[in-house]
Chains A and B, each alone.
Chain A
Amino acid sequence: MTKGTPRGQAANNHYDGPGVFLPNFCASHTLFLVVLIAQLLAFILALARMPAPEGFWVALAFTSLFVQWVALGTVMVLCLARRALATLPPLRAAGAAWLIVLLVTVLFSLLALWVGAGLGLTTSLPMSEHLSFLGRTLSISAIVSAVALRYLYVQHQWKQNVEAEARSRIQALQARIRPHFLFNSMNTIASLTRSRPEAAEMAVEDLADLFRATLSDRDTLTLGEELELARRYVRIEALRLGERLQVKWQVDEALPMDYPMPGLVLQPLVENAIYHGIEPLTEGGVITIGLSLDDTRLMIKVTNPLAPPRDRRRPGNRIAQDNIRQRLELAYRGEASMDTSEQTDQYQVTLVLPRRNA
């Protein structure tokens, strides 16, 4: 597996396990967000206590001090406990995080009472007042952290859904086979079983290989495998289209056949060339498939004739091209390109892939 394929990335990013919905509390932007939310909470609490005997600003200052201590303490513990939490399933991780918040709250509540006593602020209060302070801080902390955890969990789920959707879309597109190709091939095979059994046999084998590649979840094939698939595809179509299909292969001898590339890139281009270029022409035509090489790049060119406008197939919705472009982008991060050029009677697709250190 090469680096750069979508699967490879997911594997490298080992923090992305199923249970990990907590953000990275060691990151500074998370810390900033927590401080901000803690401050907003302090505001709400101070507002709720109005009219306070000591006045709003003093009340806000004390509340902020306390809430920030609890928040920062929690962030620190969660940051330290991150690796341990990452191994837990989501529900347990949430429970553990919640308990951590409560523990930190109790700790700082006691600390606040102790400091208050030391400064002579809370000595006059009876024991029941101490307990009620503890109870209030714990309840507020329990509710607020539960809401926060729920929010993080839902957000994480949403993100996962979006990602899964994107992945399944790519897979669906990959699995997309023109039904026409399938049924026409079956028809060809049915016909050949009588007249040329050995050709039928070979067609079945080629078709099986093509479908195996299409249905496989391997993202990466070697250039050699890609070429082989395209050759098999052309062989099946040649049985069906006979003389009408002529293919010129221009393959550079020096091609690195073990060069890894996203699978099923060449075959769909050839399929498009036949579908739009050869099938609409009564007399058929020539498709040129060229693969060449320079110091840094690998070039793939597929050229097909174009029928006069009124005989052309309805322009597809470019599913195949968009899919290839998307996969090249995922695999090469902008280092690969795909361009098309159209002249009056000819259409060409050019792929340029970086050679990397293959």
Chain B
Amino acid sequence: MKVLVVDDEAPARERLAALLETLNQYTVCGSAANGVQAVRLAEETQPDIVLMDIRMPGMDGLEAARHLSQMDTPPAIIFVTAFEEHAIEAFETHAVGYLLKPVRGERLQSALEAASRPNRAQMGALGGTMGETSRSHICARVRGNLELIPVDQIHYFQADQKYVTVRHEGGEVLIEEPLKALEEEFVDSFLRIHRNALVSKHSFSGMEKNAQGCFEVVLKGSGERLEVSRRHVAEVRRFLKSL
């Protein structure tokens, strides 16, 4: 069984690796220092189990677990935490494995043996425990692989029938999340300008009327233009004024 170790503290990773070495049917296939690295390494090494610290800089363990659950064959996830009252309540009710630091060898062994793949409902419940915090990355599947796009590099989301196009600094990808949910999650950093479009507040450069008399938002950098529907004009204008 391949195990991926994720923790932002080197001694904590070393300890888990050392404990795993004493158990012969497990091998460490990689170790990551934050959520982003964890998702990338999981893609690369296809672990069976991930030992995941919760509190990490950049992307935390809960978000990384959410992204990992979108993989074709998601690994089982065992959370490892020093002291995280709320998260532990969630684990207890949803029976996703968790361990407390410092981890005991026998506890690690029984958690590994019991490791089961978390189902969507469990991940949903864990998402709920994150409360109001929004994701730091959007996860998209590109030719079967997961691609993580930092939310602060996204210019806009544009809905088209079944998919949402995510336009970001490095290009664009399609995701299958409803625009409404994205709007609610990223209400602080994105603004709805049209029934089908959410634009990052960083990306606004201005608003202009086009030849047809419709308002359009001009984006920074690319100079790309997106139509503003009439009912959102006032809100966009207010936002541009507040800049």
Does B223 make an interface contact (CB < 8 A)?
no
- Given A191-B18, A282-B58, A311-B136, A179:B11 Cβ within 8 A: no
Does B218 make an interface contact (CB < 8 A)?
no
Cα A288 to Cα B55 with chains together (Å): 24
Cα A310 to Cα B188 with chains together (Å): 10
A179, A190, A311: the one contacting B58 at CB < 8 Å is A311
Give min CB distance, A261 to chain B, whole Å. 31
Cα A189 to Cα B15 with chains together (Å): 10
Quick one: CB contact mask for A180-197 with B, threshold 8 Å, 1 for yes?
101110111111101100
Cα A180 to Cα B9 with chains together (Å): 13
Binds B, one of A91-99, A235-243, A320-328, A346-354: A235-243
- Given A239-B11, A240-B9, A311-B57, A187:B82 Cβ within 8 A: yes
Taking a contact as CB atoms under 8 Å apart, the answer to whether A191 and B34 are in contact is no
Does B234 make an interface contact (CB < 8 A)?
no
Cα A144 to Cα B226 with chains together (Å): 86
A180, A190, A195, A282: the one contacting B55 at CB < 8 Å is A180
Does B100 make an interface contact (CB < 8 A)?
yes
Does A281 make an interface contact (CB < 8 A)?
yes
Taking a contact as CB atoms under 8 Å apart, the answer to whether B102 and A186 are in contact is yes
Question: For A282, what are the chain B residues with a Cβ–Cβ distance below 8 Å?
Answer: 8, 33-34, 57-58
Does B14 make an interface contact (CB < 8 A)?
yes
Residue in chain A with minimal CB distance to B101:
A187
Taking a contact as CB atoms under 8 Å apart, the answer to whether B152 and A179 are in contact is no
Number of interface residues, chain B, beta carbon within 8 A: 24
Does A280 make an interface contact (CB < 8 A)?
yes
Does A209 make an interface contact (CB < 8 A)?
no
Taking a contact as CB atoms under 8 Å apart, the answer to whether A183 and B101 are in contact is yes
- Given A184-B101, A190-B102, A195:B83 Cβ within 8 A: no
Does B111 make an interface contact (CB < 8 A)?
no
Taking a contact as CB atoms under 8 Å apart, the answer to whether A242 and B10 are in contact is yes
Does A274 make an interface contact (CB < 8 A)?
no
Quick one: CB contact mask for B86-129 with A, threshold 8 Å, 1 for yes?
00000000000000111100000000000000000000000000
B8, B12, B33: the one contacting A191 at CB < 8 Å is B12
Question: For B151, what are the chain A residues with a Cβ–Cβ distance below 8 Å?
Answer: 310
Question: For B100, what are the chain A residues with a Cβ–Cβ distance below 8 Å?
Answer: 183
Give min CB distance, B98 to chain A, whole Å. 14
Residue in chain B with minimal CB distance to A241:
B9
Does A225 make an interface contact (CB < 8 A)?
no
Cα A279 to Cα B34 with chains together (Å): 11
Question: For A310, what are the chain B residues with a Cβ–Cβ distance below 8 Å?
Answer: 134, 136, 151-152, 189
Quick one: CB contact mask for A73-109 with B, threshold 8 Å, 1 for yes?
0000000000000000000000000000000000000
User: Max chain A CB contacts within 10 Å: which of B33, B34, B58?
Assistant: B58
Does A38 make an interface contact (CB < 8 A)?
no
Taking a contact as CB atoms under 8 Å apart, the answer to whether A307 and B57 are in contact is yes
Taking a contact as CB atoms under 8 Å apart, the answer to whether B82 and A191 are in contact is no
User: Max chain A CB contacts within 10 Å: which of B55, B100, B103, B134?
Assistant: B55
Quick one: CB contact mask for B46-82 with A, threshold 8 Å, 1 for yes?
0000000001011000000000000000000000001
- Given A190-B15, A194-B18, A282-B34, A179:B9 Cβ within 8 A: no
User: Max chain B CB contacts within 10 Å: which of A184, A191, A241?
Assistant: A191
6 pairs, CB–CB < 8 Å, chain A vs chain B: A186-B102, A188-B11, A240-B12, A307-B57, A310-B189, A311-B136
